[in-house]
Amino acid sequence: MTEILIAALPLLALLASLLFGRYPGLETAMRIADRIASRARERVSAALDSRRPHPPAAHAAHGGQVLAFSIAGRAPPA
């Protein structure tokens, strides 16, 4: 009988703490979640920092744009 009681003590202690509003391991779980979230934020900010804005490339007209620009510069035919 005492062996069963000794084996059930951890379960009884857990139930008692839950009844009194204490959640064992909650602080540890919150610390781990905060650590994971901060690492994710660091990765996102590092990724954003690594993407430097590129200077705008000179846009050269080609193909149909050359024809459109040349027609747009003229007056309509008489």
Instruction: Quote the pLDDT of residue 32.
Output: 92
Do 61 and 69 touch, CB atoms closer than 8 A?
A: yes
What averages of pLDDT result for each successive group of 10 residues across the chain (78 residues)?
Answer: 87 89 87 89 72 67 75 70
